[in-house]
Amino acid sequence: MSEELLIVSMVHLNGTSKESLMEALERAHNALDKACNALAVTAPNGRDYYPMPAGSLAKAQEQHRSRLNRVQSVMSELGIILEEIDGTNRNV
């Protein structure tokens, strides 16, 4: 996540209910968790890269880590948003 402050939905009488916000965010978070698990299985295997030029495996591993990190970053942001919304007292 960048250093920019996350803008989090405000639970209030005329807005989306806390329950609906939490449910949608939890579904998205869970889907990303499943995506991370599926993505982890796609990690580069050295035997698939040895016929390629030197450094190909290392580069593929770096790219794989980057993909995982990006998904995990979104999961982290959603977790922060969930905590913020869950911490609100108003259950509208």
Q: How far apart are CA 8 and CA 25, in angstroms?
A: 12
Gyration radius (Cα) of the chain, Å:
19
Q: Which residues contact 1 (CB under 8 A, 6 or more apart)?
A: 73, 76, 77
- Higher confidence at residue 85 or residue 3? 85
Q: pTM of the full predicted structure?
A: 0.84
Contacts of 77 (CB under 8 A, 6+ apart): 1, 6
Tens of pLDDT, residue by residue over 5-61, are: 999 999 999 999 999 999 999 999 999 999 999 999 999 999 999 999 999 999 999
Q: Is residue 12 domain-resident?
A: no
pLDDT above 90 for 71: yes
Considering the domain boundaries, does residue 62 fall inside one? Answer: yes
For residues 70-76, give the mean pLDDT.
97
Structural domain boundaries enclosing 53: 18-86
Task: Evaluate whether residue 13 is within a structural domain.
Answer: no
pLDDT of res. 14: 94
The answer to whether residue 9 sits within a structural domain is: no
User: Could you tell me which residue, 91 or 34, shows the higher pLDDT?
Assistant: 34
Q: Does 3 map to a domain?
A: no
Q: Is 66 domain-assigned? A: yes
